[in-house]
Structure 1
């Protein structure tokens, strides 16, 4: 699996913000790009990284683990 650095940045920022619009604003990209990157990552992994509702975005347990693993290496 090849993951682009930008997709890692999108994942880590969304994991911090827990909000698609704020993530897009912070990274100066469209909200659609955020959504596409996360869907691509979830398809590649074969599991959800975020739980989404109309009011809330939360990391799944797998998403929490990936966030911990990527954060350490990214910094």
Structure 2
């Protein structure tokens, strides 16, 4: 896949909502800004769902761009 294809890929940014280890909802967007806006909306709407996990991934790079709840950091 060349860079031009990656930039215009309508399914580049993949958002998933799982609860209790089961897929509840997912969506794909070509725009990172739109996908982050959707992620934020899902956190607001579904954060009260028992065991909810909401993750935004760049399918081209494999990088997790945002996740809720945030992983706990271990200091010390």
Q: Structure 1 length normalisation: TM-score?
A: 0.28
**Larger Cα-atom Rg:** 2
The structure with the greater share of residues assigned to strand is: 2
The structure with the greater share of residues assigned to helix is: 1
